[in-house]
Amino acid sequence: MAIRTGLRWKLSAAIALVGALVAVVLSLVVHNQARVSMLDSARDLADERIQIAQRSYEQSKRLNFPNATIDDPALPAALRDKVEEGRRATYVTNTSSGAPDIWAAVPLNDGHVLSLRTGWTDRSEHILNRLDQAMIIGSISVVVGGSALGVLIGGQLSRRLRKAAAAANQVASGEPDVRVRDAIGGVVRDETDDLASAVDAMADALQQRLDAERRVTADIAHELRTPVTGLLTAAELLPPGRPTELVLDRAKAMRKLVEDVLEVARLDSASERAELQDIMLGEFVSRRVAAKDPAIEVRVIHESAVTTDPRRLERVLFNLLANAARHGRPPIEVSVEGRVIRVRDHGPGFPEDLLADGPSRFRTGSSDRSGHGHGLGLTIAAGQARVLGARLTFRNVRPAGAPDHVQAEGAVAVLWLPEHAPTNTGSYPMLP
């Protein structure tokens, strides 16, 4: 299972970890250097004291210096070797308690060895302890401050990225006027601005291509309209017979295709506006379906008054019925519950790509629902639903608990009309 964490916490944790490592290493280095420096000072002091003790002994032939001894049996072997070489030296040993002892020794003229042993003072230990406490407090302060800085910087970057993601989603949902760079704002320019500019440039390029394709499609369909109308008129003048029926059928199909393509182009341009009327939804659907196909059963579970465009609503309803009749199997059932219209058939179900991506023009689905047609029926239904401010969804009916690979028992298209009439954009319901 993937663990999702915010950028600010990742950045804060990274800064805290680096700060902690640096603080620990620095504390150890400072502690060791301070201890070495204090031991060097103690050895220098012991060297000065042993020289004083040597002069005093050679003058008086008596040990009158504190802690000075002659031929001390506890003298470290390494220090004794240096003295036997005729050299004055100092040495540090560690005791069982962990506190060091500082030794100093010097050879005398009579062949004996004068040594001086000094213990690690409490004052030195206290200084080291205070230094360690200061380093601990400083390390904690560095970690806390670094974490707070990481949260601050990461939070700012995270907010900019979230704004960029929200703006990109708006562009993807069909709002071409949204610009990611304007959405993130800010005075500081960083890599986020470069990313936003690249996304804006990509969105502009894609929008230009889409607009060009829509214009070409609309222009072609518009240019075909006149010759197709002339072809249909000429075909109607042919003498009756089977060849004439075939020509008329194909000419009518071509005219319908041209009209559908023009309608899709108008819907894509987002220039369509709903002409609103108040209707009783259940009664409206029952009358329209009965006029279209009396064999289709309509159930009004709950009647509701709605404000919508009857012509566009009828277009959506008839396209859903045509799709169910063409690609599904009877019986076809229509139900009205409040503001929701459901159209169900008992065929093999919608193809998976339609369920995942929605209707797509000139795509009729998988082989089991291919049939005849050009794939514009559901595309037009979805476009008209957007003009009404409605939502059109698709799903397949499967036995309870059955996996996805099991054959569907039917397809259901659901039209959710908005609670409020669509605004002048023709795309979204009006909020109260």
pLDDT digits (tens, 9 = 90+) for 289-303: 888 888 888 898 998
Q: Contacts by 393-397 with C-beta closer than 8 Å and gap 24+?
A: 394/350, 394/354, 394/355, 394/358, 395/350, 395/355, 396/349, 396/350, 396/355, 397/344, 397/349
The more confidently predicted of residues 133 and 210 is 133
Q: Where in the chain is the domain with CATH 3.30.565.10?
A: 274-416
Q: Which residue(s) pair with 416 in the sheet?
A: 340, 391
Predicted confidence at residue 427, as pLDDT, reads 41
Q: What is the pLDDT of residue 144?
A: 82
As annotated, the residues of the chain forming the CATH 1.10.287.130 domain(s) are 179-271
333-337 and 297-302 beta bridge pairing: parallel
Between 424 and 289, the higher pLDDT residue: 289
Degrees (nearest 5) of the Cα angle 195, 189, 151? 90
Determine whether 384 is exposed, middle or buried from the number of CB atoms within 10 Å of its CB (0-12, 13-18, 19+): buried
Give the residue with greater pLDDT, 375 vs 56. Answer: 56
Q: What is the percent of the chain with per-residue pLDDT over 90, rounded to a whole number?
A: 1
Place 369 in a pLDDT band, splitting at 50, 70 and 90: very low
Instruction: Show the tokens assigned to 301.
Output: 């579970």
Fold of 274-416: Heat Shock Protein 90 (3.30.565)
Check: CATH 2.70.70.10 for 179-271? no
Greatest mean pLDDT among 28-32, 176-180, 199-203: 28-32
Task: For the chain, give the longest Cα–Cα distance.
Answer: 153
Which pLDDT score is estimated for 18? Answer: 83
Q: What number is the average pLDDT over the span 166-195?
A: 73
DSSP 99-142: -EEEEEEEE-TTS-EEEEEEEPPHHHHHHHHHHHHHHHHHHHHH
Half-sphere exposure of 303 (CA within 13 A, CB side): 6
Q: What is the pTM of this model?
A: 0.51
- Look up residue 41 and give its amino acid: S
Residue 158 has pLDDT above 70, yes or no: yes
The Cα 393–Cα 382 span in angstroms is: 9
Name residues whose C-beta falls within 8 Å of residue 252's C-beta, 6 or more positions apart in sequence. Answer: 232
- 183: which residues sit within 8 A by CB, 6+ positions away? 163, 164, 166, 167, 196
pLDDT in tens, 71-86: 888 888 888 888 888 8
**Per-residue pLDDT at 362:** 56
- Bridge partners, residue 412, by sequence: 344, 395
235: left (phi over 0), alpha (psi -120 to 50) or beta: alpha
pLDDT-derived band at 430, boundaries 50, 70, 90: very low
**Which region among 32-41, 251-260, 339-348, 381-390 has the lowest average model confidence (pLDDT)?**
251-260
